[in-house]
Structure 1
């Protein structure tokens, strides 16, 4: 049987698999911290009259040396505070890096998606592109959109309905309307750009 991982160990394990944003890793670790907190406060261990509310401070997490609620004179740590301290430690030791997360996400998405979609996804993670990264994506958006269009369609639209279908496809991929118009109107003659 594997030994149970600490919250810090879980964080390191998640980061070894792929880069995470701070907010994404916080959500994942909070689930475990709250589950551990709830398990530590089972009916036999809780003081009479205490609620099992997972959001209340009042006891340390298992692994911090205590399996039951601390005495009232000991400062309590909430799961949120514990996870935030772990995230601070991971950032201080460069295991968690928002810059690396942005770089890896842009690298993974740029060949298939437009700037709007990439920015939206990063915003969901609470991060933004640097000015240099935004400029680089903007400069390459037409070429990326043309490559996506070629892989999917490969030939100019035959009629208005086909043009609308191609434009909807590229719009769904997050390319800007101006780039979509240039790619679909230019079709295969866009090679000179």
Structure 2
């Protein structure tokens, strides 16, 4: 059966089988194919009641997949873009803050492995870490701490 011939619930389940989706993501994706928003809402309500749709699993999935490569800022932005409520985002961010320096240090070590020799290299390394979502304070600490610590 082709994707277009599936029921709304069937399409939602097919999307959820690939990866965790937030309710807002599924609403957006399903609305493109389904003209009746009430049918989309009913299908998502039923999936949520049965435990197929769970915002906390979405948060856990993103944190698990992304925390080793990006900073709190990037993870916060991704969770907000998926429509996760502010309280869950705050809890996830708070749990990551304690390990932010160590995670940034590991990302830096994999990419560069050596302290910058001049201002140009320092700026390049700082931009790299900032683009990954690490805060300015954490970037400064990583670049100012010798690698042997």
The question of a shared fold, defined as TM-score above 0.5 by the shorter chain, is answered with: yes
In structure 1, the gaps of 5 or more residues are 35-78
1:122 aligns with 2:123: no
Instruction: Give me the whole-angstrom Cα distance separating, in 2, the residues matched to 1:110 and 1:158.
Output: 28
Alignment match of 2:43 (pick from 77, 83, 86): 86
Instruction: Give me the whole-angstrom Cα distance separating, in 2, the residues matched to 1:85 and 1:22.
Output: 12
**Segment of structure 1 superposing worse, 119-128 or 169-178:** 119-128
User: CA 1:131–1:121 in structure 2 vs 1: closer, same or farther (change >3 Å)?
Assistant: closer
1:6 equivalent in structure 2 = 7
Instruction: Tell which structure's C-alpha radius of gyration is larger.
Output: 1
1:23 aligns with 2:24: yes
What's the RMSD between the two structures over aligned residues? 1.4
Instruction: Give me the whole-angstrom Cα distance separating, in 2, the residues matched to 1:186 and 1:20.
Output: 39
Aligned residues: 145
Higher helix share: 2
Matches within 5 A, 1:8-157: 8-34=9-35, 79-127=36-84, 128=86, 129=88, 131-157=90-116
In structure 2, the gaps of 5 or more residues are none
Contact 2:22 2:54 in 1 (8 A): yes
Alignment match of 2:136 (pick from 165, 170, 177): 177
1:130 Cα deviation after fit = 5.2
Contact 2:80 2:89 in 1 (8 A): no
Q: TM-score, normalised by structure 1?
A: 0.72
Instruction: Give me the whole-angstrom Cα distance separating, in 1, the residues matched to 2:11 and 2:38.
Output: 16
